[in-house]
Amino acid sequence: MHIRQIIAAPATRRIVASAGIVGLALTASACNRASSSDSGGGGGGEAAVGVTLITKDSTNPFFVAMQKGAKADAGKNNVKLTIASGKQEGDDQGQITAIEDAIARGDKGILITPMSTGVNAAIKKARDAGLYVIALDTPPDPADTVDITFATDNRAAGKLDGQWAAKTMAGKPAVIAMLDLFDDKIVSVDYNRDQGFLEGMGIDVADPKKNGDEAKTGTYSGGDYTIVCNEAGNGAEDGGRSAMEKCLAKNPGINLVYTINEPTAVGANAALEAAGKKATIVSVDGGCAGVASVKSGVIGATAQQYPLKMATLGMEAIAKIARGGEKPKPTEGLDFFDTGVALVTDKPVDGVESIDSTKGADLCWGN
């Protein structure tokens, strides 16, 4: 075997091994320091409760916001928080590894935005080991894979938009464009927001899990309505713009636009401006860019959701359980724990609770 060493390698550069050894020592001591400061950082008397937050990735603004919020709040509940995620969308293995690490570490609970059904087995392993597992943002499939899900009530979010819009239209005929998320697949967030909006307007939605099956004309709580279109914008600016253009082609008299999220709303506004039209736009999400659009008047009202709160309320719940407290229960009438939603608008109406864009900017997520 050693014959191969006879044919010597090309001249090697000078690298002193001691540099490597020093590096190693530094790495090792850095680890030690990390541990002592971490474990020593807990509050007086009570042991810190270990919680792991596992997101799908560490770059999506929604997850970044979640991680930031959780980190900032970990101290409050004397939680020793570990942050982990998949390397990218679809990286089941990354989440499985993180779950196993949490079990081995003796954490009391896991907060997870489950990647796919591929992590179900690992979640079960964690629950068998006595960890309390909370899904954030989206329930896993099946929902009882986890102990409970903390998420936004998207139907309630849509409803707030609808109620505000109905009051804002104040009896005028409403000519409505519905800019949905998809038209090639059915996802709950899509129909919950869409149907919630129409319910808020006081329009009969027929099948509450189906977009676009309601009567095209009729009466809403304030007067007559016409639904011009249900177009998919895929949740992005360009999609929102072309969807709105299609709707305007059908009926240039549109004066009320529902959008699935704020990028779609921005695109819809661009189409309206280009056509020289004005309409009231409502949306959902409450990201910081979206709130800024409310302030500038592009969006009339947006329903704000709280990814940070999902993480911090989840941590709080696990800390409570670990100290002998009660487990969280699903919000009444829902199969998940509602992390709340608030309507952000600078034109408040009677009977619909809302916050202004300044307050909304304090609470918003992302950049």
Partner 1 sequence: MSASSAPSAAAEFSRRRQTPLQQVQHQLHGRPWLSPLFLLLVAFLAFFISTPTFLTPSSMGILLQQTAVVAALGVGQTLIILTAGIDLSVGAVMVLSMMVMASLAQDGGMPGVLALVIGVIFATVAGLLNGLLVTRINLPPFIVTLGTLSIFTAIALLYSGGASIQASHLPRLLNVLGEGFGIGEFRLTWGIVVVVIIYAVMAFVLSQTAWGRYVYAVGDDAESARLSGVPSRRILLGVYTVAGLIYGIAAWILIGRAGAATPNAIPDANLASITAVVIGGTSLFGGRGRLIGTLIGALIVQTFAFGLSQLGVDQQWRVLATGVLVIIAVAIDQWIRKVKA
Which residue is listed with tokens 């009570």?
46
**Cβ neighbours, 10 Å, residue 61:** 14
CA 11 to chain CA centroid, Å, is 55
Does residue 108 contact residue 46 with C-beta atoms inside 8 Å? no
Of 38 and 353, which CB lies nearer to partner 1 in the complex structure?
38
Q: Which residues bind partner 1 (CB under 8 A)?
A: 1-2, 4-17, 19-20, 23-24, 27-28, 31-32, 34-36, 38, 50, 58, 80-85, 87-93, 96-98, 100-101, 103-106, 116-122
Best CA proximity match to 81, nearest among 69, 64, 91, 94: 69
Considering the complex, state which of residue 7 and residue 170 has its C-beta at the smaller distance from partner 1.
Answer: 7
Query: Cβ of residue 106: shortest distance to partner 1, in angstroms?
Result: 6
DSSP 7-50: SPPSPPP---HHHHHHHHHHHHHHHHHHHHHHHHTS-SSSPPEE
Q: How far is the CB of 55 from partner 1 (least distance, A)?
A: 11
Please report where in the chains the tokens 């390698």 appear, as a residue. Answer: 9
Helices and strands, counts by H and E, the chain? 11, 13
User: CB neighbours of 204 closer than 8 A, spacing ≥ 6?
Assistant: 214, 215, 218
Tell me the Cα Rg of the chain: 25
Quick one: 5 or 170, whose CB is closer to partner 1? 5
Torsion over CA: 260, 330, 86, 96 (sign): negative
Nearer to partner 1, 132 or 220 (CB): 132
